[in-house]
Amino acid sequence: MSSKGWIGFSRTPHSDAVFSGSIDFDGCRFAAEPLGFGLQGHNCGYRHRNFWTWAHACFLRGDKTPSTLEALTYEMPLGLVFRKAVLWHDGQQHVFRHLQETCDRTNLQWKFRSVARNGLRLEAAFDGRGLGLHHLPYLKTDCSSTFEVANNSLASASVVLQGADGGATKLETATGAVLEMVG
């Protein structure tokens, strides 16, 4: 997503990765083919953020490679806001900036749309209500206090892609998305 050092979350290099195999934990074995999708990590650096919205979704497509979408908005210094989404679809990366968004923090829902430089239009909707929704206290980076983070790692997501040719592709997942909000 970004590697802006003092102002950014860390980059997520393999959001379209597929993991297979098994995990042994506390006497239990979890095995699957595939076992999981994507790789994410974010680190807010040394400065506490007052708000952010982050989402990641993996869309399984039968015999085709999965498509993934990762999106992030957060507060930056001087009143600026970082906004970016990265879609991996059919083996190609599409970067979307200038997200036009609506965010419902009370109900953990996020919708946005944007157009990539190549003309690909994206409309995305993440819904974090329901099973898996939880609120966690995070420690501020200066350790002065905690703040609440709303997260659902079983969120749903839908994406509509519209190419320059006018053809549309719809991607959906009922529980293959993560949505996290603060602020």
CATH number at residue 78: 2.40.370.10
> Quick check: is 4 in a domain?
no
> Quick check: is 33 in a domain?
no
Helix (H/G/I), strand (E/B), else coil: 88: strand
Question: 26: alpha, beta or left, given left = phi > 0 and alpha = psi -120 to 50?
Answer: left
**CA–CA gap between residue 150 and residue 36 (Å, rounded):** 22
**CA–CA gap between residue 149 and residue 77 (Å, rounded):** 21
Q: Which domain holds residue 165?
A: 46-182
> Quick check: is 79 in a domain?
yes
Q: Note the pLDDT tens digit of each residue in 76-120.
A: 778 888 899 999 999 899 999 999 999 999 999 999 999 999 999
Structural domain tally of the chain? Answer: 1
> Quick check: is 88 in a domain?
yes
> Quick check: is 165 in a domain?
yes
User: Could you tell me which residue, 135 or 127, shows the higher pLDDT?
Assistant: 127
pLDDT at 174 > cutoff 50: yes
> Quick check: is 150 in a domain?
yes
Strand blocks (E) in the chain: 18-25, 28-37, 52-61, 64-75, 81-89, 92-97, 100-104, 109-115, 121-127, 133-139, 146-162, 168-182
pTM (whole model) above 0.95: no
Q: Note the pLDDT tens digit of each residue in 148-159.
A: 889 999 999 999
